[in-house]
Amino acid sequence: MPLVSGLVPSRFLVLTAHLVIVITIFWSRENNVRASLPLQCTPEEYARRDTEMVVALSVTLGLFVVELAGFLSGVSMFNNVQSLLSTLAHASAGVTLLFFLFEQWDGSLYWWIFAFCRLAVVLLGVRG
């Protein structure tokens, strides 16, 4: 039982931290969009990259709703494997997204971070 009592709060805290980071990126996405473009760009190029970031962040927020619904309803709260995988994936995504936010990485890197952290959970979850 100590494993469960340690995983549940840590999973909740990591999920919440990752959610706050994604919302912060959503609010301040202009720097990352500008990092994706050359110095001289057209408004159409900026709008296209901004739309790409909005879509990526919206997909992330939609999947957060699904995961938090499963977690808070108790469906996946006490599944040790799911909690451990979720905690590891969200912690790694959170740390990477902090670098993405503070270092103003290219906006297209968001999809790579998203794919790596999401696919790791899906692939390991299927085998586990």
Whether residue 121 contacts residue 89, with contact meaning beta carbons closer than 8 Å, is answered with yes
What would the pLDDT profile of 17-45 be if each residue is shown by its tens digit?
Answer: 999 999 999 999 888 898 888 888 899 99
Give the whole-number percent of the chain exceeding pLDDT 70.
89
In DSSP notation, 19-79 reads HHHHHHHHHTTHHHHHHTS-SS--HHHHHHHHHHHHHHHHHHHHHHHHHHHHHHTTTTTT-
What would the pLDDT profile of 70-85 be if each residue is shown by its tens digit?
Answer: 888 888 777 788 888 8
